[in-house]
Amino acid sequence: MTTAAELTPKARAVLAAASELFYEHGIHAVGVDAVAARAGVTKKTLYDRFGSKERLVVAYLAARDREWRAHLDTHLRAGGQSPREQLLAVFEAADSWARAHSSKGCSMINAHAEISDPAHPAYDVIVGQKRWMLTLFTGVATAAGVPAPERVAKQIMLLHEGALVTAGMGVLDGAFDRAGELAVTLLDQWSGSVN
C-alpha cells in the first residue's frame, strides 16, 4: 500500500482534498470533479495518480488508518505497561483522536455505511482496522491473564465501538471516559476471577 511519503506533491494534494471531502460529505456524495477542484488539479491528474475513485477511497481510508495507529501507538507508549493502563490508554487515544479528527464519528464506521460489499477494494481496509483493534484488545486481555481473552476482548470492543458512535453523534458527553471505565472494570473482574 502506498504511503504518503511515496506520493508526488500533486497526489498528496488530491489525497488531502479527498480526505476532507469524503469525511465531511460522504464517499458517494463526493465526485472526482469536486476532489480535483479542491486539490487544484485536473481530473486527468487525479486519475493518473490514483487510477480510479475506488483506489482513491482505498488510499484515503488507508492513510486515515495509518494516522490512527500512529496516534494510538504514541498513547500506548506513553501509558503505563500494565494491561489496565494500556487499556485506558486506548480509550484516551480514541478520545483525543475524536476531538481532533473525528467530529462526524469514526471514518471506518462511516465508510462501512456506504461500502458494505466485501468485493469493494476499500472493504478490507475498513474491516481490517476493526479486526486489528480486536486483536489489540485480545492482547491486553491475554496479558491481564483472563481465562477467556477472546471473549473479554469482544466485550471491550463493543464498548469501544459504542463510544465511537455515541461520541460521533454527540449523544453522550464523556463517552470514551465512561466506556474506558467499564472496560477496565470488565478486565479487573475477569482477571480477578483467575485468582
In the chain, the percentage of residues whose pLDDT exceeds 70 is: 96
C-beta separation of 54 from 120 below 8 A: yes
Average pLDDT, the chain: 93
For the record, the C-alpha cell of 20 comes out as: 476532507
Domains of the chain: 1-51 (1.10.10.60), 61-192 (1.10.357.10)
pLDDT score of 195 more than 50: no
* DSSP, res 39: H
pLDDT score of 90 more than 70: yes
For the record, the C-alpha cell of 109 comes out as: 464506521
How confident is the model at residue 172, as a pLDDT?
87
pLDDT score of 6 more than 80: no
How confident is the model at residue 1, as a pLDDT?
47
C-beta separation of 144 from 183 below 8 A: no
- pLDDT by residue (tens digit) across 128-181? 999 999 999 999 999 999 999 999 999 999 999 999 999 989 888 899 999 999
C-beta separation of 148 from 137 below 8 A: no
pLDDT score of 106 more than 70: yes
pTM: 0.91
CA-closest candidate to residue 190, choices 144, 124, 158 = 144
pLDDT score of 3 more than 60: no
